[in-house]
A and B are shown apart, each in its own frame.
Chain A
């Protein structure tokens, strides 16, 4: 019964075109009536306390770092490194895009920022070299979603806070699965692009390669700082994020000199506004999460899922299919916020490793960013690459299939996540 009220009020409000954050608050009001505990303070208390979190401060800091990296020339140099290294092999620009996706992913926490930067820098090059435009844009969209899997990751931060899991552990567990996504894309690209008649870029001389790497070294230091800092407990994820922001600001303003001091204000306003949109959603989700807890809605769900509880793999497959379905229509952040409080108790009850589940869940949500009809990353790449959404959908599907294959390989072989996670953590 509570599930009906929860879903009915939430989806009903969303269908009216109410922003999801307000739909979550309306859902909270409906649950309060249903539980016969109406009190306006419950809303105010939870929404305000929902934004009051030190771990979540990683969100504005990573967003700020991403803004600065794109505006300050760090992202561009990362792409140049990838170009110098694999630009000359057959179909090389595709591998450049994949390598650059993985490298950028280790600097930025947001799929949207990465795919926008990659599309702007690489689509013109790829089409000029003779690659099919739909396919190039599709590859870049699918590469962009590696960003939330390889740390840093805003998705992991929000999931970690919503589930009470260690964000550092989630970060370290995401590294290898993120690389697997890159490998999956490389295989798909090799298959679909083998017949493309393209001229590879001329091989760069060793001197040029060294020069490019030296030029980009300042940018490439950043992932080293973040991963080493987290691995050795030098700082918390929030502190890692602020270090990333300050470091990229210094490099962009004083070393690369591509970010003028007068542009810094605009960058801060933009990062603050984007953060507010994400955080208001997070805060509003705390209201419904509080009432879900009081009503013991996960208990109801566990009863519903009883037939699957003895078989974790089957349960995981069911959950993953549900998340894929939700992801077709919903953006990453709201999906994480709405499903985490409902699913985590189920996952724990079934004896599934929560960190392992977190990696799969976030990867699934990231894939949702490139599934039609609503795919944020599709919208961004279509906008930047100047291509229609329907053309892009045609181009993205082989890579979408590759990412789904990686996801379900991880469902089948949990050790692919847990093994490397243990190695990184030790």
Chain B
């Protein structure tokens, strides 16, 4: 986004790499879910058998995909929201709303971190019924989400407070599920991607 800051810093590179990695992980999660669930159907009808861990394990991958994917969307301002009200405000009003909103989100991330931490500790030696995996892997999703989401939010707050945002960045939600992703800046492009298979 900030193409004017000429040399790409090491931090930016690491952060970009981290989110590219997250995208790879969520695609992998989806692929594993397909294999497990489809495999189960196939085995049931072809061989009268099944993978008994399929249901539970695929659900866990689903949970991880949801929260890691939600982080990707958070960074790309892809979450749904209603911008009808803030759009009518002056740049100053927009900035105030953004600061208030991001503060609330940061607080929610903090609560999520505390709550997931407690639940992860409680569930360290609790075993999942079918796979026998520690339930901490399940509740641990919340920790990863809260830490990364909190950092994204704090970064947004820092930029909002110290005037490093352009006016178009002061509204950070989209009205529809359709228009998100890093290429969604022009009106025609996201829709064209929809036809090309980039969309749901």
Contacts and interface: CB of A to CB of B under 8 A. Distances in A.
| Chains A and B directly touch (beta carbon < 8 Å) | yes
A20 B23 contact: no
- Chief secondary structure at chain B's binding surface: helix
B139 A44 contact: yes
A41 B112 contact: no
B181 interface: yes
B105 A22 contact: yes
B165 interface: no
A268 B31 CA distance: 8
Given A116-B194, A276-B66, A57 B115 contact: no
Contacts of B124: none
Contacts of A267: 197
Nearest to B122: A41
Contact of A39 (B33, B62, B115): B115
A269 interface: yes
A380 B176 contact: yes
Contacts of B73: 273, 276-277, 280
Contacts of B51: none
Interface string A328-346: 0111011000000000000
A330 B107 CA distance: 25
A21 B24 CA distance: 24
Contact of A242 (B27, B37, B141): B37
Interface residues of A, number: 89
A15 B85 CA distance: 6
Given A40-B114, A60-B65, A242-B34, A20 B84 contact: no
Interface string A256-272: 00010001011111111
Contacts of A384: 188, 191-192, 194-195
Output the residue of A245, A267, A272, A333 with the most chain B CB within 10 A: A272
B69 interface: yes
Given A16-B104, A53-B59, A384-B192, A259 B67 contact: no
B26 A273 contact: yes
A60 B27 CA distance: 11
B66 A383 contact: no
Contacts of A272: 23, 26-27, 29-30, 65, 69
Contact of B55 (A54, A259, A275): A54
A42 interface: yes
Interface residues of B, number: 79
Given A18-B101, A39-B115, A242-B38, A70 B194 contact: yes
Contacts of A39: 115
B199 A70 contact: yes
B171 interface: yes
A271 B62 CA distance: 12
Given A272-B26, A272-B27, A379-B176, A21 B80 contact: yes
11 contacts: A17-B86, A18-B101, A26-B108, A41-B118, A43-B112, A44-B139, A270-B197, A272-B69, A273-B181, A275-B66, A383-B192
Interface of A: 13-23, 25-26, 29, 39-45, 47-48, 51-54, 56-57, 60-61, 63-64, 66-68, 70-72, 110, 112-113, 116-117, 119-121, 234-235, 238-239, 242-243, 245-246, 259, 263, 265-281, 283, 329-331, 333-334, 373-374, 376, 379-380, 382-384, 386
Given A18-B101, A43-B108, 8 more contacts: A39-B115, A70-B194, A70-B195, A117-B195, A265-B27, A269-B23, A270-B197, A270-B199
